Structure 1
Amino acid sequence: MQNLIEKNLYKKSLLSYLLWPLSIKYSLILILRRKLHLGGYRSRCKIISVGNVVSGGSGKTPVTIFLAKYLRKQGKMIAVSHRGYKGKFEKDNKLISDENKVFDFAKDAGDETFLLASKLVGIPVITGRNRKRSIQILEEKYPDLEYIILDDSFQHLKVKHDVDFVIFNAIGGIGNGFVLPSGILREPLSALQYSDYIVFNGKGDIPSQIQKYNKPIFKGEYHIKRFTDINRKEIKPTGKLALLSGIGLPKSFENTIHKAELNFEKHFRFPDHYDFKNNEIIKQISTDVKLEKIDYLLTTEKDFAKLQFIEHDLPLVIVEVEFVLENEEELTI
């Protein structure tokens, strides 16, 4: 599936052109949705939205973590809201961590939500598709709350945003420039006029189609903080390596590993948010690892959020990364 997407949605192809008429109709619907929207819930807190206009991975959650830590360093009272995609509480609204601890049931809230809570200990994290209700719960529980960061919320118009960050990944960019289903864009690039800041994640030139909206652009990239074993003890991966991931943009993970001057034999790639609960799949990976004499299997923190609760004998090494903004001193929120 990933290869099909890369060949037809990241590049222009016969299939993408055949689907293009559907994209035109969908684009018009999305443009009208923006123009006809009359407003949304106004929170007493400052609402910061972190989102994108592309499907697949761009780096929203790492940027959310960066912004949360940035505001905390400034002494601000903050909380984070995430939809909890594919999690147990997506249709509810549930606080999975507070200012004191991460609750035991947080592991059921979805991989990205659990990752947020794990990386932002001391910052309340709430999950739930209904963002308005999540905000109201946070407002009621924390009277002194100043900021709420909404991860993956650019298209969510039922809540008024004070600041909108839109994230692009240098590897995926804007794909072939078409809107779904013939491209990777979730809505036309004209939606960037509603953003406040654009964050370009990775090295390379920023596409002119993004620059033309004259929005402040920040550049940043992932830095590997450390490698750890499953007990979170720091380790140096050596020998024969392979990768294991179920993320939106697998090449981004590969690029991060290459930047660390590490080589890998193969990449076990699965769809974004893959839950790894299929025992036969895990057994097959384990068999392949042993047959090919792989010493370490490098995986992302997002994937380990699920793998740590699954019984297996994989020689996992978790790649802990942090998002670093090049021109952080220019950020004002």
Structure 2
Amino acid sequence: MHNYLHIPLWPFSQLYGGIMRLRNLGYDKGLLPSRQFDLPVIAVGNLTVGGTGKTPHVEYLMRLLQSYKVATLSRGYKRQSKGFILADASSTAAILGDEPFQYHADFKDVNVAVCEDRVKGLEQLQQLVPELEVVVLDDAMQHRPVQPSLNLLITDYNRPFYKDYVLPAGRLREPRSGAKRADAVIVSKCLQSISTKEREQMVGQVQRYTSPGTPVFFSTFAYADPVSIGKAAAPTKNAVLLTGIANAEPLKNYLSSQGYTLLRHLSYPDHHLYTSDNLKELKELLQQPGYAGATVLTTRKDAVKLTDAGLLPLTLALPIFFVPIEVQFIAEGEKFDQLVLQHVQSRL
């Protein structure tokens, strides 16, 4: 291990990893129940704790599958509700969780549901949406009670799973061998300039842990011009960055490359639910010397919470913009699309 501070945690990682291996063995041998469904169920997940870019990839799939009747099913992490909920006009980020609420806000034709128990959630979706054709499971790699028909594993280019360790010494939720369940692997957050040689090297490393022949794809983030959700029509180059996400480094690097000067980064924990006090503090910061005329930049995930009904009046009074983001595949995007579309067509 490269960081000697991890050494005291290694015995705990071995214990946790052993428990996860036994759990996976129970599912693999049929000793623990795992349910298949009679429609395409595409799981998007990872082996690590947070920050691999699952949300933009789920959105990519929803755009790809727009000709089908699609639903997404998430746990609804940190939501202030319980049980199965199908999003409607009264839904909020607090009720659904921030990522499902983002899907609901941006994809009007997609049925967005949350449920801690994915088996019950899928059953409910099929009852309530009888014309349903495809379900995308968000963050479901470790939810073994559901057996997806297509399992997509995402790993961060900057911290690939094959260089990481099981919690608490590292950030893996389960041992690297969990990659064997993947039907395809996506290396996310790549530099657009990644070379063919480096991709080939990473494919070799990834395929040490996957089933033979598992395809490996590479994706990057494409950012667009900031979109106003506040009082200003156009952003200035002096900016305060406001985020409640797992890893803001790619966004910070992009903004720096676009000539923005980040005066300050207000970084909240992932899935943070903003309060009126947060926005009042932000307003006070913008009134301090050195911040005159500064723009506030944030993510789409944060923006859907900042424009919730309770905070909207405060947001509208501030120069806040979100930076749109989309996934782009490097080199083999058409092959990935065909893999997904052919799978869906074969299951209908």
Q: CA deviation at 1:231?
A: 5.6
Structure 2 equivalent of residue 34 of structure 1: 24
TM-score w.r.t. structure 2 length? 0.83
**Correspondence 1:241 to 2:239:** yes
What are the ranges of 5 or more consecutive residues in structure 2 without an aligned counterpart?
341-348
1:17 is matched with 7
Report the counterpart of residue 94 of structure 1 in structure 2.
85
Aligned pairs for 1:201-280 (under 5 A) are: 201=188, 202-203=190-191, 204=194, 205=198, 207=202, 209-212=205-208, 213=210, 215-230=214-229, 235-277=233-275, 279=277
Deviation string, structure 1 residues 239-289 (Cα, Å, up to 9, x no partner): 31121101011212213324545342221111111112261x443333233
Larger Rg belongs to: 2
Q: How does 1:1-333 map to 2 (within 5 A)?
A: 12-37=2-27, 38=30, 39-72=33-66, 75-89=67-81, 91-97=82-88, 103-107=89-93, 108-174=95-161, 177-201=164-188, 202-203=190-191, 204=194, 205=198, 207=202, 209-212=205-208, 213=210, 215-230=214-229, 235-277=233-275, 279=277, 281-291=278-288, 292-293=290-291, 295-309=294-308, 310=311, 311=314, 313-326=317-330, 327-331=332-336, 332-333=339-340
- Paired residues of 2:72 and 2:136 also in contact (CA < 8 A): yes
Indicate conservation of the 8 Å contact 1:226/1:321, yes or no. no
Letter paired with 1:80: T
Q: Is the alpha carbon distance of 1:259 and 1:132 closer, same or farther for their aligned partners in structure 2, counting shifts above 3 Å? A: farther
Where 2:51 maps in the other structure, the secondary structure is coil
| Contact kept in structure 2, 1:224 and 1:260, CA below 8 Å | no
Equivalent residue number for residue 8 of structure 1: none
Corresponding residue SS for 1:171: coil
- SS state at 2:262 partner: coil
Equivalents in 2 of 1:254, 1:131: separation in Å? Answer: 35
Contact 1:77 1:145 in 2 (8 A): yes
Contact 2:237 2:261 in 1 (8 A): no
Q: Which residue number corresponds to residue 346 of structure 2?
A: none
Alpha-carbon displacement from aligned partner over 1:61-92 (angstroms, at most 9, x marks no partner): 110110111012xx222211111111133x21
Q: Which amino acid aligns with 2:14?
A: I
Equivalent AA in structure 1 for residue 271 of structure 2: H
Q: Is the contact between residue 162 and residue 176 of structure 2 (CA under 8 Å) also seen in structure 1? A: no
Q: How many angstroms does 1:141 deviate by?
A: 2.2
- For residues 12-46 of structure 1, the C-alpha deviation after alignment (integer angstroms, 9 at most, x for no partner) is 43331111110011111111111111241221111
> Could you tell which deviates more after superposition, 283-292 or 39-48?
283-292
Q: 1:171 to 1:284 in 2, by over 3 A?
A: farther
Does 79-88 or 312-321 show the bigger shift? 312-321
* Residue identity opposite 1:92 in structure 2: G
> Residue 16 and residue 314 in structure 1: after superposition, are their counterparts in 2 closer, same or farther (change >3 A)?
farther
Change (3 A) 1:27 1:323: same
Shift of 1:132: 1.0
Per the TM alignment, residue 187 of structure 1 is displaced from its structure 2 partner at its CA by 1.2
Shift of 1:192: 0.5
**Structure 2 Cα separation of the partners of residues 261 and 217 of structure 1:** 34
Q: What is the Cα deviation at residue 297 of structure 1?
A: 0.9
Provide closer, same or farther for how the CA distance between residues 260 and 175 of structure 1 changes in structure 2, counting only shifts above 3 A.
farther
Displacement of 1:112: 0.5
Q: CA deviation at 1:170?
A: 2.1
Q: Which whole-Å CA distance do the structure 2 matches of 1:171 and 1:314 have between them?
A: 34
In 1, distance between residues paired with 2:103 and 2:71? 11
Give the count of matched residue pairs. Answer: 313
Task: Give the letter aligned to residue 302 of structure 2.
Answer: D
Give the Cα separation in 2 of the matches to 1:115 and 1:211. 33
Q: 1:162 to 1:117 in 2, by over 3 A?
A: same
| Partner SS for 2:263 | coil
SS in 2 for 1:16: helix
Change (3 A) 1:258 1:171: farther
Cα distance in 2 for partners of 1:64, 1:167 equals 11
Q: Which runs of no fewer than 5 residues in structure 1 stay unpaired?
A: 1-10, 98-102
| TM-score w.r.t. length of structure 1 | 0.86
